[in-house]
Structure 1
Amino acid sequence: MSYLYPLVIFDLDGTLVDSAADIAEALNRTLEDWQLPRVPEATVLTWIGDGVRRLVEQAFTAARSDIDLDRVMPGFMRHYEACLLRSPRLYDGVVPALEALRARNVTLAICTNKPSAMVAPLLAHLGVQDFFAMVLGGDSLPERKPSGVPLRHIAAAFGVATTAALMVGDSITDYRAAVDAGMPVALVRYGYPRGLDLDTVDAVAVVDDLRSLPGL
């Protein structure tokens, strides 16, 4: 039996990978560089999803700092790279879900706002790089999520209509990108779903475990 969606596009952080502690540590090291107080990981979670520059901007705004972001970002990127592989882990169910989808000949891709240079090392470290036929980072194209441009780009690359592909994410950024692209979306209850009411959102499915995906 063939799978309903020939192409499934995943978000990365908060959907496939729990990387919050590492992102928070990179951000806190950056704040310390500028003599600003560290912030709790729970707070950092609310800032993840819109790309690294927006993440840093929100942290420095919350600290009431008017330091020029262009001066801050090089240091943050050094910390981000240094912390990338500290303690990331795949969420429960990710590998079985990817294996099940691949067994049904579903094409798998990643669309993340993480800088592209950070994605390949992370996927390799976690041993899942071979599952994905295409990976787009937040700087791969002129626009990133919540624009639908990256999702349309991936769908076009595989000759699949956006209405026939599925976006899987955890945040309002993923949801808005899917809506903008005219692509069905499934959401996970874990991750960093700030800004979304998962009980009322217009989604194909809201799942607690990605192993539910092949049964949609």
Structure 2
Amino acid sequence: MSYPYPLVVFDLDGTLVDSAADIAEALNRTLQDWQLPRVPEATVLTWIGDGVRRLVEQAFDAAGSQTDLDAVMPGFMRHYEACLLRSPRLFDGVEPALQALQARDVRLAICTNKPSALVAPLLQHFGLQAVFAVVLGGDSLPERKPSGAPLRHIAAHFGVAPEAALMVGDSITDYRAAVDAGMPVALVRYGYPRGLDLDTVQAVAVMDDLQELLAL
């Protein structure tokens, strides 16, 4: 059976991979480096999605610190890399959903705001590196989500009109990127959906399990 979308573009953290604990640990180690108190993982969840610099900026703002971010970021990136594979897990339903979409000859891509150098090791950890034909990180192009530019770039790579493809994400950042790109969007409930009312949002689907994509 053919699938209505020839191309599906996925967000990574909060959509495919539960990496919140590892991101929180990297951030907390960075705060400790600067003699600032650690913060709960639940708080860090509300800051994830707009890229690493914005993540660190929000944490230091919340701590009342005026430290220059340019001085903080190298240390954070070292911690981020060190914590990358501490305890990430695929959300339930991710592997069977990806396999089923592949079986229907759907092209799959990733559009994440995670630094591109850290995306490949994570995909390799789960044996997913061959699943995605295109992978864009937050530093792959001049613009990142919530700009629609990365989604338009991916669609153009496959020769697919943005409105014929599907974006799958969990956050308002993903939603805004899809709207800006003119791409239909499906959202998951289990991720880090700060700032997004999943009960009223205009989406193709709002899912508890990625396998619900197969019923579209």
Is this a same-fold pair by TM over 0.5? yes
Match of 2:176 in 1: 176
One-letter amino acid of the counterpart of residue 137, structure 1: G
One-letter amino acid of the counterpart of residue 58, structure 2: Q
Match of 1:27 in 2: 27
Give the 3-state SS of the residue equivalent to 1:129 in structure 2: coil
Q: Cα distance, 1:214 vs. partner? A: 1.3
Return the alpha-carbon distance in structure 1 between the equivalents of residues 127 and 46 of structure 2.
28
Indicate the RMSD between aligned Cα atoms, in angstroms. Answer: 0.3
One-letter amino acid of the counterpart of residue 28, structure 1: N
After the TM superposition, which segments of 4 or more aligned residues of structure 1 sit over 3 Å from their partners? none
TM-score, normalising length: structure 2: 1.00
Q: Cα distance, 1:51 vs. partner? A: 0.1
Q: Cα distance, 1:125 vs. partner? A: 0.5
- The answer as to 2:10 corresponding to 1:16 is no
- The answer as to 2:74 corresponding to 1:71 is no
Return the alpha-carbon distance in structure 1 between the equivalents of residues 159 and 116 of structure 2.
23
The superposition leaves residues 95-137 of structure 1 with CA deviations (integer Å, 9 ceiling, x where unpaired) of 0000000000000000000000000000000111111000000
The superposition leaves residues 123-171 of structure 1 with CA deviations (integer Å, 9 ceiling, x where unpaired) of 0001111110000000000000000000000000000000000000000
Return the alpha-carbon distance in structure 2 between the equivalents of residues 62 and 212 of structure 1.
37
Return the alpha-carbon distance in structure 2 between the equivalents of residues 84 and 184 of structure 1.
30
Give the 3-state SS of the residue equivalent to 2:130 in structure 1: helix
* Structure 2 spans left out of the alignment, 5+ residues: none
Match of 1:135 in 2: 135
Percent identical residues: 86
Return the alpha-carbon distance in structure 1 between the equivalents of residues 23 and 59 of structure 2.
12
The superposition leaves residues 71-95 of structure 1 with CA deviations (integer Å, 9 ceiling, x where unpaired) of 0000000000000000000000000
Match of 2:90 in 1: 90
Give the 3-state SS of the residue equivalent to 2:109 in structure 1: strand
* Structure 1 spans left out of the alignment, 5+ residues: none
Return the alpha-carbon distance in structure 2 between the equivalents of residues 161 and 80 of structure 1.
35
Q: Cα distance, 1:175 vs. partner? A: 0.0
One-letter amino acid of the counterpart of residue 88, structure 2: P
Match of 1:189 in 2: 189
Give the 3-state SS of the residue equivalent to 2:140 in structure 1: coil
Q: Cα distance, 1:29 vs. partner? A: 0.1
Match of 1:149 in 2: 149
One-letter amino acid of the counterpart of residue 189, structure 1: R
Give the 3-state SS of the residue equivalent to 1:31 in structure 2: helix
One-letter amino acid of the counterpart of residue 208, structure 1: D
- The answer as to 2:65 corresponding to 1:37 is no
Give the 3-state SS of the residue equivalent to 1:206 in structure 2: strand
Match runs of 1:106-125 below 5 Å? 106-125=106-125
Q: Cα distance, 1:215 vs. partner? A: 1.1
Return the alpha-carbon distance in structure 2 between the equivalents of residues 180 and 152 of structure 1.
9
Return the alpha-carbon distance in structure 2 between the equivalents of residues 25 and 162 of structure 1.
36
